[in-house]
């Protein structure tokens, strides 16, 4: 029979980290937190975090420390949410902290991170990067975290680190564990020299702290070129708590005798009837004796005194019946009371934790869930989960409706055409039937809104050169529910199609439709041979060469000052397409500001 209410598990933790034989400083960081409040412990469990920084980036130790401290604090400080959601949001917040520090300091920061929550008999793993987590059960190891392909490890690994961009892909894995299981969290450097089978054998033969140190020592003996970190979690049943009922009886918890009320009531009723019967028999006997001796005055007086004495003794004896076998409270020493009360509190907390865990598992109906998180909205909504600055190409199929506002009842604009590339310039997640994305075409000529559900399975995210990003870097694409599709308002009529005509000079002109009384003005479509950067206002840029600042985005209006190669400034406006270039307005610390072509700018 399957176990439906497993006993809560104790967690024995051992942690060890070492810089290795060739490094002077340790770039890894490890930490854990066990709440003092038993109710918090029962509701949120214990949290363990390991960060493995990349040695190719600057100040990896700083990134690792930020990751561990932020995740540990954010997980418990959140106002609401199930443990899996809290863990995902905590990792996303750590990504924000590291990314912001990298921009402010000008350093390249990034780290892989691996975290685990143990609550009751539930295990939740959250990871970014290639740090592995293993479940050792019955001596056999099983990897819990995804294993990136070799090509990803060699070429694209920096893109899978926490803090290298404004968003991070977080893998969330959850499932049940049982007594005797062992969970091992480690940096990727351990598995480069120690096999999973050797890890399982070590933790099976040695105690927790000895096993952690032995694994690190073995990795250093075989390689030693990188820092190594290990967290070993050994799970066992709490036999004392398992013997207690899920919700303890207050009387029993404090050591007082429990009364079987219904049984005692029946017994008391029978005893009362027996007492009444005996009393009636005594009264009848006394009445008969009185009739016999009432003719003799002296005998009557003596007999009455004796009878009254016997009757009084008899009544007292009857009153004492039924009490002799009643249990009396046994005095309990204060120390025993304290221990018993602590056991009762822990049992109640564990009962609450188990009920919460069962409800959460019944709601999800899944053991493995992968989320693409883009702070500050980590919970995915319908359609592809995109943010401002991403480029995407529309796949083959029907044109995608576009509007002048984030609403399906707004005025229709030009549809998104298959094969065309667009940039997300704004996101609205609050509008109905959303999220809604404000997009601009590759030439920056028309701005329009499209709904996220309408983009489901219809787009692919591309880089600045127009090449599709690898599958692991594509945003999560959530199918819209049927109810949301039925609730989507009927689109407003599409305006008449307008096709440009070419004059003798080769300039595209747009004639007015026959139904319109207004003649559109001619527009010139700029011819830009390169893609626009996904920079935003506030982005720091560096001058690639000595250049002149321009009053407007025009190469013929660059006469308001100079900027030197290597000088840094901040973007205050853009991008604007003009002529053959994308233009950005840049402001410097001394107050100088002007428009600069994108090809003359770089990132520090």
Overall pTM surpassing 0.75 (yes/no):
no
Is pLDDT of 269 > 60?
no
Residue 197 is predicted with a pLDDT of: 94
DSSP assignment string, 207-225: -HHHHHHHHHHHHHHHT-S
282, 290 contact by CB (below 8 A): no
Which residue has tokens 């995915």?
380
In tens, the pLDDT along 4-55 reads: 344 578 899 999 998 887 777 888 999 999 998 888 888 999 999 999 987 7
Compute the average pLDDT of residues 549-563.
Answer: 87
Q: For residue 527, how many C-alpha atoms fall within 13 Å in the half-sphere facing its CB? A: 3
| Rg of the Cα atoms in the chain | 39
* Number of C-beta neighbours around residue 42 at 10 A: 23
CA distance 373 to 170: 7
Which residue has tokens 């991070």?
168
Tell me which CATH homologous superfamily contains domain 25-237: PPM-type phosphatase domain (3.60.40.10)
Residue 61 is predicted with a pLDDT of: 85
Quickly state the pLDDT bin for 365 (edges 50, 70, 90).
very low
Tell me which CATH homologous superfamily contains domain 383-487: SH3 Domains (2.30.30.40)
Of residues 520 and 122, the one with the higher pLDDT is: 122
Distances (CA, A) of 200 to 50, 197, 298, 382, 506: 19, 5, 102, 41, 73
Quickly state the pLDDT bin for 443 (edges 50, 70, 90).
confident
Q: Domain boundaries in the chain?
A: 25-237, 261-320, 383-487, 540-602
Compute the average pLDDT of residues 513-525.
Answer: 33
CA distance 604 to 593: 19
CA distance 287 to 282: 9
Mention the CATH class of domain 540-602: mainly beta
DSSP assignment string, 148-209: --HHIIIIIGGGGSBTSSS-EEEEEEEEE--TT-EEEEE-HHHHTTS-HHHHHHHHHHS-HH
In tens, the pLDDT along 276-302 reads: 667 667 666 666 665 665 556 666 666
* Alpha-carbon dihedral 113, 84, 82, 341, rounded to 10 degrees: -70
Residue 218 is predicted with a pLDDT of: 92
Tell me phi and psi for residue 7, to 5 degrees: -70, 145
Of residues 543 and 238, the one with the higher pLDDT is: 543
Residue 272 is predicted with a pLDDT of: 63
Quickly state the pLDDT bin for 489 (edges 50, 70, 90).
very low
CB-based burial of residue 334 (10 Å sphere; 0-12 exposed, 13-18 middle, 19+ buried)? Answer: exposed
Question: Where does residue 307 fall: left (phi above 0), alpha (psi -120 to 50 degrees), or beta otherwise?
Answer: alpha
489, 410 contact by CB (below 8 A): no
- The candidate with the shortest Cα–Cα distance to 26, out of 144, 261, 187, is 187
For residue 320, the SS3 value is helix
CA distance 101 to 87: 21
Q: Same CATH fold, 540-602 and 383-487?
A: yes
């Amino acid at each position: 029979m399957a176990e439906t209410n497993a006993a809560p598990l104790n967690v024995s933790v051992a942690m060890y980290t070492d810089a290795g034989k060739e490094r002077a400083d340790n770039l890894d960081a490890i930490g854990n937190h066990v709440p003092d409040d038993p109710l918090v412990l029962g509701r949120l469990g214990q949290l363990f975090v390991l960060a493995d920084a990349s040695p190719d980036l600057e100040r990896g130790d700083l990134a690792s420390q930020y990751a561990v401290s932020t995740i540990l604090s954010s997980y418990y400080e959140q106002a609401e949410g199930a443990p899996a959601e809290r863990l995902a949001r905590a990792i996303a917040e750590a990504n924000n902290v590291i990314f912001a520090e990298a921009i402010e300091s000008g350093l390249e920061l990034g780290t892989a991170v691996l975290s685990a929550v143990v609550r009751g008999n539930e295990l939740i793993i959250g990871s970014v990067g290639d740090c592995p987590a293993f479940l050792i059960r019955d001596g056999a190891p099983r990897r819990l975290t995804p294993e990136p392909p070799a090509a990803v490890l060699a070429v694209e690994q920096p893109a899978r680190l926490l803090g290298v961009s404004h968003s991070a892909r977080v893998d969330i894995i959850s499932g049940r564990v049982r007594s005797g299981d062992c969970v091992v969290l480690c940096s990727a450097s351990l598995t480069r020299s120690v096999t999973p089978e050797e890890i399982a054998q070590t933790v099976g033969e040695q105690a927790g702290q000895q096993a952690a140190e032995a694994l690190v020592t073995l990795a250093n003996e075989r390689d030693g070129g990188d820092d190594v970190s290990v967290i070993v979690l050994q799970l066992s049943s709490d036999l004392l708590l398992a013997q207690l009922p899920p919700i303890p009886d207050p009387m029993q918890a404090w050591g007082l005798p429990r009364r079987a009320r219904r049984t005692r009531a029946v017994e008391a009723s029978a005893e009362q009837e027996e007492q009444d019967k005996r009393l009636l028999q005594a009264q009848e006997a006394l009445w008969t004796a009185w009739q016999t001796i009432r003719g003799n005055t002296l005998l009557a007086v003596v007999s009455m005194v004796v009878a009254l004495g016997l009757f009084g003794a008899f009544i007292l004896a009857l009153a004492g019946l039924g009490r002799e076998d009643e249990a009396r409270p046994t005095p309990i020493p204060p120390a025993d009371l304290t221990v018993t009360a602590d056991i009762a509190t822990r049992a109640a907390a564990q009962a609450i934790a188990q009920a919460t865990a069962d409800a959460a598992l019944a709601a999800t109906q899944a053991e493995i869930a992968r989320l693409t998180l883009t702070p500050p909205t980590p919970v995915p909504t319908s359609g592809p989960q995109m943010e401002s600055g991403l480029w995407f190409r529309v796949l083959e199929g029907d044109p995608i409706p576009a509007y002048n506002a984030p609403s399906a009842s707004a005025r229709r604009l030009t549809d998104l055409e298959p094969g065309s590339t667009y940039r997300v310039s704004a996101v609205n997640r609050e509008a109905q039937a959303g999220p809604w994305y404000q997009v601009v075409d590759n030439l920056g000529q028309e701005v329009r809104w499209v709904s996220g559900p309408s983009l489901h399975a219809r787009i692919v995210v591309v880089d600045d050169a127009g090449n599709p990003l690898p599958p692991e870097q594509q945003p999560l694409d959530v199918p819209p529910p049927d109810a949301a599709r039925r609730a989507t308002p009927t689109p407003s009529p599409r305006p008449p199609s307008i096709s440009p005509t070419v004059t003798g000079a080769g300039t595209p002109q747009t004639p007015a439709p026959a139904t319109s009384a207004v003649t559109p003005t001619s527009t010139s479509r700029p011819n830009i041979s390169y893609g626009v950067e996904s920079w935003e206002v506030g982005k720091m840029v560096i001058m690639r060469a000595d250049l002149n600042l321009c009053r407007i985005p025009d190469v013929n209006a660059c006469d308001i000052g100079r900027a030197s190669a290597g000088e840094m400034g901040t973007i205050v406006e853009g991008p604007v397409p003009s002529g053959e270039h994308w233009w950005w307005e840049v402001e410097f610390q001394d107050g100088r500001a002007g428009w600069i072509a994108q090809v003359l700018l770089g990132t520090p």
